[in-house]
A = this chain, B = another copy of it.
Amino acid sequence: MEDKKHGEEQLCTLEKRGNLFFLTLTGAGEHRLNPNLISSLRSALFRLQSDPSASSSSALITTAHGKFFSNGYDLDWAQSSEPRLQLMSSSLRSLVHDLICLPMPTIAAVTGHASAAGMMLALSHDYVVMRRDRGFLYMSEVDIGLVIPNWFMALMMSKIGDPRARREAVMRAAKLTAEDGVRIGVVDSAHDGAEATVAAAAELGEALVARKWDGHVYAGNRRVVLREVLEAVGYDETVTKVADKAGSKL
């Protein structure tokens, strides 16, 4: 099950192995979240839900090739154009909405750097397992001169309960290793190497599948648990400001 447009490189793959769906961001690049990649991911999630076996107990594992899980928004592509920034923002928010409404447990197997919007992509999963020996979770915005949108904080608050941990991540722009993530509560387990990380995700996935939950009940409960996040992804108040700010530097 591949997602490829004519003449374009394949941006992600979706495979089924037993009860587990594997969504992989392919290629050695930074997996910048531009509308193309997001669209591919959303298509894959749509195909997943159309898969007849997805109505029985399943789980999704999202992972990525190379040194990056995702380095965040594709600001180069957006070039501070307000329409492009708005499209990128609304695409990502729709993807996050899709993940939160997905009728099965979701696990992010983070085997590379996850920065800014890329970290939000990881946090949009029910569980995060991460590689211990390489890679950071990094809210880079303070370092690169950006203000995070409210929905990023709503998502972070739904996953990170300790205000000091949130301060470390956002207000100190800390580069968090997997061990930091475990300490903070944003990472469920840390593993040596990419293969061990994906294997841990598979093991967790199987344990969740073994509970034989109804996927739609699962999603229904997740929607209640993450109600504020679902509300918050409905808007992004920062998009026009970024375009204005960049414009002022010209």
Contact = CB atoms under 8 A, between A and B. Distances in A.
B164 A185 contact: yes
Identical copies in the complex: 2
Contacts of A105: 171
Contact of A224 (B149, B167, B173): B149
A105 B171 CA distance: 9
Contact of A185 (B142, B163, B211, B220): B163
Interface in A137-166: 141-143, 145-150, 152-153, 158-164, 166
Interface residues of A, number: 41
A153 B185 contact: no
A214 interface: yes
A4 interface: no
Given A142-B213, A159-B163, A150 B224 contact: yes
Contact of A153 (B152, B161, B217, B227): B227
Given A224-B147, A225-B171, A161 B158 contact: no
A161 B159 CA distance: 10
- Helix, strand, loop or mixed for chain A's interface? helix
A148 B221 contact: yes
A77 interface: no
A180 interface: no
21 contacts: A126-B167, A141-B217, A142-B213, A142-B217, A142-B218, A142-B221, A143-B213, A147-B220, A147-B221, A147-B224, A148-B224, A150-B224, A150-B227, A152-B224, A153-B225, A163-B185, A164-B185, A170-B225, A171-B221, A171-B222, A173-B211
